[in-house]
Amino acid sequence: MRLSPDDIIFWQSGFIKLNGTIVFTWALMAVLAVGSKLVTRRLSMDLQRSRWQNLLEIIVTGIEKQIEDVGLAEPRTYIGFLGTLFLFVALATLCTVIPGYEPPTGSLSTTAALALSVLIAVPYFGIEQQGLRGYLKSYVEPTFIMLPFNIISELSRTLALAVRLFGNMMSGAMIIAILLTITPFLFPIVMSALGLLTGMVQAYIFSILAAVYIAAATSGRKSKAEPALDATK
Amino acid sequence: MLIDWFTVGAQAVNFIILVWLLKRYLYKPILDAVDARERRIAVELADADAKKAEAQRERDEFQHRNEEFDRQRAALIGRATDEANTERQRLLEEARSAANALSLKRQETLRNDAEQLNQAILRRTQQEVFAIARKALSDLAGASLEQRMVEVFAQKLGAIDAKVKQGLAQGLAASPEPALIRSVFDLPAEQRATIQQALNQTFSADVKVTFETAPDLVSGIELTTNGQKLAWSIADYLESLETRVGELLKAKAKPESKVEPESTTAAEPGGEVAPKATAKATSRPKEPQLESKSQ
């Protein structure tokens, strides 16, 4: 039983290897980048515009609006990071309808890499907005005693991000695989549809949590939204 | 082991590359396009607002001008109506006064005509009366009018009352000049002698007399001396006739055409007229008589 696309090894030379996770990620990256390039090559500034441009505009402005709603005053600063998180995870889920495809987010390595990116991005944006002193000060608020708890919180939520996404994606693929062996016809389709929904929800949760963490770091105090969102899971 | 650290590193790098790619090819161009469109829409909306405001302003101005025009038109029409009414009143007044003047003139002319006619009738009547009397006297009695008048004058002279007679006698006595006998006709010597004789008899004195012919004299014969006058006159006849003709003219002044033949008939000489005139004369209250007037 294969738990992760990491196990699909195409090529290996010692420590360096080319596994399914990396290959599928590249494929997704290619689709996203080439698709964007193709659509934005002929952008219309007029009121008349193509359907694809419309679609991308809806997606981009929707993401921008969501970021703004979380509480980040300048969404364009963060849309590159947060938007890409969402689009990558969402596309990875969507593509599960393609036979033979394994979502790279079903690999704990990928989700850990994304979580680590968030772990680094949060202090990066925090320091960028408040300066190093201001950012570090947020760890000892309201009192100095909170410092270890804040650090633990920082690490644990990174772990939670990684494991949550991995667990959901892996379990989805796993359940479909198991069901296929038991009831090969209708039921896997239903579960596949459910898996799409779960995947989209996870993409939303992942990027929104990242936005909330960044918002908390940039505004200088801890957000109350985090435990609430964690509770929904 | 579920985590492969090489894959983690590779995925992190992949993710960073993807972020850069999407920033480059997706977010920036799309957001730029959206911004450009929003700016353009904002500009167009502002332009539309400006045009709308302009249109509103022009509409207001147009409306204002329209109202102004209406007001001026109403004022002009009102003024024109007033002027027309005033002019009408003036013309009516003029026409009325002109009609009044014309009417007055016409009345004046009518009155003048009537007066002239009256005078003419009077003169003609006098002539006719004398002519008729002359003719009637010569035809019926074989006597001339002058002769008859002189006889009547002498007869009346003889019959005057004492008071008048005394006044005349005093007048004759006081006057240094001879008494004046005026008559319409030239009196022949025989009749002058008759008058002289009658005077002498009446006043029992030799009265000096001078004779004079006055064709315009209304009276037949009159005696004038020292401010005293004794006359046998047909003035009453004539006055009465004049009054009746005047009444006739007044009554028939409006239909002028009827007045004309009536007056003509009245003034017409001839045998037929004489009895009529006699008949009218009979109804008169006054008889021809000798009058004594103090001048």
pLDDT digit string, tens, across residues A113-124: 999 999 999 999
Q: How far is B28 from chain A (nearest CA, A)?
A: 9
Please indicate, yes or no, if residue B191 is contained in any of the structural domains: yes
Q: What pLDDT sits at residue B172?
A: 79
Domain range for B233:
124-294
How confident is the prediction for chain B on average, in pLDDT? Answer: 79
Task: Write out chain A residues lying below 8 Å of B34, CB-based.
Answer: 57, 60-61
Predicted pLDDT at A223:
43
Residues B53-91 have pLDDT tens digits of 999 999 999 999 999 999 999 999 999 999 999 999 999
- Residue A221: pLDDT over 70: no
Q: What is the pLDDT of residue B284?
A: 42
Q: Pick B22's closest partner by Cβ from A22, A25, A83.
A: A83
pLDDT 10s digits, B199-257: 888 887 777 888 888 776 665 777 777 777 777 666 666 777 777 877 887 787 655 44
B223: in domain: yes
* Residue B262 within a domain: yes
Residue B229 main-chain phi, psi, to 5 deg: -135, 130
Residue A185 to chain B, least CA–CA distance (Å): 31
**Mean per-residue pLDDT, A44-65:** 89
Say whether residue B120 is in contact with chain A using an 8 A CB cutoff: no
The yes-or-no verdict on residue A22 having pLDDT over 80 is yes
Query: For residue B284, with 0-12 CB atoms within 10 Å meaning exposed, 13-18 middle and 19 or more buried, which class applies?
Result: middle
- Alpha carbon of A205: minimum distance to chain B alpha carbons (Å): 18
DSSP B286: P
Q: What residues have CB less than 8 Å from A172, skipping those under 6 apart?
A: A96, A106, A191, A194, A195, A198, A199
Residue of chain B whose Cα is closest to the Cα of A82: B19
Chain B nearest C-alpha distance from A88 (Å): 9
- B227 within domain boundaries: yes
Helix (H, G, I), strand (E, B) or coil at A71: coil
A91 in B contact zone (CB under 8 Å): no
The answer to whether A97 contacts chain B (CB < 8 Å) is no
pLDDT of residue B240: 77
* CB within 8 Å: B26 and A19: no
Is B162's Cβ below 8 Å from some Cβ in A?
A: no
Q: What pLDDT sits at residue B49?
A: 96
Tell me the C-alpha to C-alpha distance, in Å, between residue A108 and each of A5, A19, A23, A116, A160: 9, 13, 15, 12, 12
% of chain A beyond a pLDDT of 70 = 93
Give domain status of residue B202, yes or no: yes
pLDDT of residue B264: 41
pLDDT single digits (tens) A193-213: 888 998 899 999 999 999 999
> What is the per-residue pLDDT for B235?
67
**Predicted pLDDT at A210:** 93
pLDDT reading at A147 higher than 80? yes
Cα angle value A66/A67/A73 (rounded, 5°): 130
Q: Which of B3, B21, B23 sits opposite A109 (nearest CB)?
A: B3
State residue B259's pLDDT score: 43
Percent of chain A with pLDDT over 90: 44
Residue B294, pLDDT above cutoff 70 = no
Name which residue leads in pLDDT, A232 or A56. A56
Whole-Å CA distances, A166 to A5, A161, A198, B10, B16? 12, 9, 12, 17, 19
- Spatial separation of the C-alpha atoms in residues A4 and A12, rounded to whole Å: 17
Query: Does the beta carbon of A1 lie under 8 angstroms from any beta carbon of chain B?
Result: no
The answer on pLDDT for A233 being more than 90 is no
Q: Are A113 and B8 a contacting pair at CB < 8 A?
A: yes
CA-only gyration radius of chain B, Å: 61
Q: Using a pLDDT cut of 70, give the percent of chain B over it.
A: 79
Decide: A88 and B18 in contact? Cβ < 8 Å: yes
Q: A80: which chain B residues are within 8 Å (Cβ-Cβ)?
A: 19-20, 22-23, 27
The predicted pLDDT at position B149 comes to: 76
* The pLDDT of residue A224: 43
Q: Is residue B239 part of a domain?
A: yes
- Please name the member of A6, A45, A104 whose beta carbon is closest to the beta carbon of B33: A45
Q: What is the pLDDT of residue B25?
A: 93
Number of structural domains, chain B?
A: 1
Higher pLDDT, B223 or B110: B110
Please give, rounded to a whole number of angstroms, the shortest distance from the CA of B23 to a CA of chain A. Answer: 6
B179: part of which helix (H) or strand (E)?
A: strand B179-183
The pLDDT of residue B23 is 94
Assess if residue B93 is contained within a domain: no
> Given an 8 Å threshold on Cβ–Cβ distance, is B36 in contact with A47?
no
CA proximity to B11, closest of A97, A120, A19, A211: A19
Average pLDDT taken over every residue of chain A:
86
Residue B117 has pLDDT above 90, yes or no: no
Q: Other CB atoms closer than 10 Å to residue A232's CB: what's the count?
A: 7
ipTM, two decimals, is 0.88
Regarding predicted confidence, which is higher, B285 or B95?
A: B95
Q: Which residues contact B215 (CB under 8 A, 6 or more apart)?
A: B184
B29 and chain A in contact, CB less than 8 A: yes
